[in-house]
């Protein structure tokens, strides 16, 4: 079992059952999450009997770096191999305000969005919390700098791996763990309505993003087959429920695709759907995927879409493009090596 899978409380319980004091958990977590050691033997202040116990019970190496691409803008995309040979990806983005990582939660994806490289291969399995955490640890080792922001928006649907996602968030936010502030973490979902409502009651300060990509069922179903299960009106209803319970603003992710969802009349419709909600729209230039028939919107088209939302008093940003030259869209690197 991977030691990163343990919560702090579970590690304390394990040590207690084996005759070791609670302060040993603090020492171990300091080595894991502050010092980011690669072997148990680097934990130099632990007694030999505890080191042997850890080595016999847990693994510390979760990922093997297969390939690393670095963009001209500093974006780093890493392809990792898991213990069973499956491949996953993480993307590191460097901003003036700090380093941000996009992590993967599943091997493959069953959501099947027609524009996305992640869904080219069906889900093989969920990642454990420790395997998600290890993506941050390994990327910090590569970068040799601290990661301050986390986006759970890589391969897979986070809310389809809900239990492990929650365990991941606990450790990442824990003061003895990676100690990344909750408001520096964003979880993105394609719109699994029951889980959005469940998540609203978790009492977390972690940001929530919804991949909407269309204001109506005709366009959204073409782009996202999950819309057949949870249509636009149900997703909007879940957003309203979340806002009423959690009282936290929601990000609406909207990838702009040429001739599909980027027309002025679609922008007007989106404005009507979102009017009065405590949301802001993140417009995203499309990273083209070889296997998908879609093209990115022209710059002027994206600017017009932005202007219409802004005119209608919808809070909106147009994301600065990063990593386009290294195929940084989720799943692109993995799909090329299978």
Residues known to be catalytic: 89, 330
Q: Find tokens 């204001």 and name the residue.
A: 215
Measured over the CA atoms of residue 111, residue 114, residue 118 and residue 124, the dihedral's sign is positive
3-state secondary structure of 315: strand
In whole angstroms, give the CA distance from residue 157 to residue 108: 9
Q: Are 42 and 28 in contact (CB under 8 A)?
A: no
Q: Which two tokens stand for residue 206?
A: 């972690």
Of the CA atoms within 13 Å of residue 77, those in its CB half-sphere come to 22
In whole angstroms, give the CA distance from residue 153 to residue 130: 17
- CA 7 to the chain's CA centroid: 20
Whole-Å CA distances, 153 to 100, 180, 185, 188, 209: 12, 17, 11, 5, 9
In whole angstroms, give the CA distance from residue 2 to residue 129: 9
3-state secondary structure of 338: coil
Q: Are 122 and 108 in contact (CB under 8 A)?
A: yes
Q: Find tokens 């002025």 and name the residue.
A: 264
In whole angstroms, give the CA distance from residue 160 to residue 99: 27
Q: Find tokens 């606990």 and name the residue.
A: 170
Beta-carbon neighbour count of residue 197 at 10 Å?
Answer: 14
Residue 174's nearest CA partner among 306, 315, 12 is: 12
> Phi-psi category of 280—alpha, beta or left, where left has phi over 0 and alpha has psi -120 to 50?
beta
In whole angstroms, give the CA distance from residue 222 to residue 228: 10
């Amino acid at each position: 079992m991977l030691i990163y899978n343990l919560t702090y409380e579970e590690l304390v319980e394990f040590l207690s059952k084996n005759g070791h004091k609670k302060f040993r958990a603090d020492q171990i977590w300091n080595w894991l999450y502050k010092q980011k050691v690669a072997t148990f033997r680097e934990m130099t202040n632990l007694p030999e009997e505890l080191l042997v116990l850890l080595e016999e019970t847990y693994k510390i190496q979760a990922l093997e770096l297969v390939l690393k691409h670095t963009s001209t803008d500093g974006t780093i995309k890493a392809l990792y191999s898991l213990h069973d040979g499956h491949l996953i990806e993480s993307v590191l983005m460097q901003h003036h305000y700090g380093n941000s990582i996009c992590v993967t939660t599943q091997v493959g994806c069953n959501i099947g969005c027609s524009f996305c490289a992640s869904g080219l291969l069906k889900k093989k399995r969920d990642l454990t919390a420790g395997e998600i955490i290890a993506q941050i640890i390994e990327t910090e080792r590569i970068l040799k700098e601290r990661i301050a922001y986390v986006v759970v928006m890589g391969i897979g649907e986070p809310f389809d791996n809900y239990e492990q996602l929650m365990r991941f968030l606990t450790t990442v936010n824990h003061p003895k763990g990676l100690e990344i502030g909750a408001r520096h973490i964003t979880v993105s979902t394609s719109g699994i309505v029951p889980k959005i409502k469940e998540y609203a009651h978790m009492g977390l300060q972690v940001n929530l993003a919804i991949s909407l990509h269309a204001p109506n069922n005709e366009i959204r179903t073409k782009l996202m087959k999950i819309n057949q299960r949870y249509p636009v009106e149900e997703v909007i209803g879940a957003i309203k429920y979340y806002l009423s319970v959690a009282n936290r603003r929601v990000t609406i992710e909207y990838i702009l695709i040429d001739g599909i969802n980027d027309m002025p009349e679609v922008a007007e419709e989106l404005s009507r759907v979102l009017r009065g909600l405590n949301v802001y729209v993140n417009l995203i230039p499309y990273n083209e995927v070889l296997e998908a028939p879609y093209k990115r919107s022209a710059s002027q088209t994206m600017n017009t879409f932005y202007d219409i939302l802004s005119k209608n008093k919808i809070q909106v940003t147009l994301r600065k493009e990063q990593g386009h030259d290294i195929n940084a869209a989720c799943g692109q690197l993995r799909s090329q090596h299978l």
